[in-house]
């Protein structure tokens, strides 16, 4: 049997839980957390956590700590049949239309809109089902870049999550060489499975997706393929700022970077970090709360400049993924 724990929450709390949750990731068997809007008029949202075993008091307190507005609320704890919990976890995930892309889960039984490029991405421990403004904003920005005539031949998706943005880039530019990486090995396994479901070929050559487990750009395969015409990084503002020198070093002169995962008040610090590395702002998309930035690297900066530096972490973290 499986279990579900539910707490009411605010929209801000739900959005804050859209990325990695270190407190849960540290658990031996972390729950799958899904947030969804319950009432549009009142702005009520709900956190649902799906677990393999009945939660103890410590886990309930940990889940409650993720949504401070529910500190005085009693959780709803229910037991579910094993075969139902995955389907139930998808119920709050509506299909997303972003640019030419249509992203849905396996619970969607409707008609695919004509003229769209569909992807089936189920909820998982990896971020990037398309439902959050950051992922949808990146999808729309990729579409916008293609409509502007952009033709990147070498692409890196740093912090790929479910692999969705890498899949979208391959759909737009089917002959490009694409590599997707993530610091979390679980994300690479999720990406591999999603690639099979969506007919995305894995491999090292053009028209195939290479996968690697890596902190930022710190991986031999990522460095060997550089410089990139397009770097996608939908992560968080802090890592985006830290990785600015590395992403600049990996981006070809005249190449583009699509950055997301930041909230509106973090946009200027992120832009300042990338302007210092020779980028300029070429476009803004996403939502008012969650901007998506399109940057262009000025041509006077090159991959071989002496000041290039890659962000280093424990070499043990930079292991190969599945190719």
CA 191 vs. chain centroid, Å, equals: 11
For residue 241, the tally of other CB atoms under 10 A from its CB is 16
In degrees and rounded to multiples of 5, residue 3 shows phi and psi of -130, 150
Residue reference for tokens 């403004």? 133
What's the rounded Cα separation, in Å, for the pair 116 and 107?
19
d(CA 267, CA 294): 12
Q: How far apart are CA 70 and CA 153, in angstroms?
A: 48
Element housing 3 (H / E): strand 2-9
Q: Can you name the residues that pair with 77 across neighbouring β-strands?
A: 5
Give alpha helix (H) positions in the chain. 11-16, 22-25, 57-65, 85-90, 133-147, 164-172, 185-197, 220-225, 237-242, 244-250, 267-275
Do the annotations mark residue 254 as ligand-binding? Answer: no
Q: Is 135 annotated as a binding residue?
A: yes
**How much is the CA Rg of the chain, to the nearest whole Å?**
20
Q: Over 68-93, what HEC string results?
A: HHHCCCCCEEEEECCCCHHHHHHCCC
Helix, strand, or coil here: 303? coil
Query: CA-to-CA distance for 68 and 289, rounded, in angstroms?
Result: 21
Q: Which of 222, 218, 176 is closest to 200 using CA atoms?
A: 176
199 is an annotated ligand-binding site residue: no
Q: Is 130 annotated as a binding residue?
A: no
**What are the distances in angstroms from CA 323 to CA 178, 215, 217?**
12, 17, 17
Annotated binding-site residues for S-adenosyl-L-methionine read: 135, 159, 182, 234
Q: Which residues are annotated as a binding site?
A: 135, 159, 182, 234
């Amino acid at each position: 049997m499986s279990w579900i724990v539910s707490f009411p929450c605010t929209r801000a709390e739900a959005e804050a839980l859209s990325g990695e949750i270190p407190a849960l990731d540290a658990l031996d068997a972390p729950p799958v957390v899904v947030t969804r809007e319950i009432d549009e008029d009142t702005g009520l949202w709900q956190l649902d956590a799906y677990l393999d075993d009945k939660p103890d008091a410590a886990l309930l307190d940990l889940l409650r700590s993720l949504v401070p507005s529910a500190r005085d609320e009693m959780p709803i704890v229910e037991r579910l049949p094993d075969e139902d919990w995955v389907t139930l976890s998808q119920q709050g995930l509506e299909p997303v239309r972003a640019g030419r892309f249509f992203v849905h889960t396996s619970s969607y039984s409707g008609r695919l809109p004509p003229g769209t490029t569909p992807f089936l991405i189920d909820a998982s421990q990896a971020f990037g089902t398309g439902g959050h403004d950051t992922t949808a904003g990146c999808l729309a920005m990729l579409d916008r870049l293609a409509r502007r005539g952009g033709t990147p031949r070498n692409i890196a998706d740093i912090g790929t999550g479910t692999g969705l943005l890498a899949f979208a880039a391959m759909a737009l530019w089917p002959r490009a060489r694409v590599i997707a990486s993530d610091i979390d090995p679980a994300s690479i396994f999720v990406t591999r499975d999603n690639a099979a479901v969506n007919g995305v070929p894995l491999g090292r050559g053009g028209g195939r997706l290479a996968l690697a487990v890596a902190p930022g750009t710190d991986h031999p395969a990522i460095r060997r393929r550089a410089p990139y015409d397009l770097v996608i990084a939908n992560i968080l503002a802090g890592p985006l700022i830290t990785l600015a020198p590395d992403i600049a070093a990996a981006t070809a002169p005249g190449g583009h970077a699509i950055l997301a995962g930041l909230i509106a008040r973090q946009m200027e610090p992120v832009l300042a970090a990338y302007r210092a590395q020779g980028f300029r702002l070429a476009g803004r998309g996403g939502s008012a709360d969650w901007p998506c930035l399109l940057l262009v690297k000025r041509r006077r900066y090159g991959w071989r400049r002496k000041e290039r530096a890659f962000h280093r972490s424990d070499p043990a973290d930079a292991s190969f993924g599945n190719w």
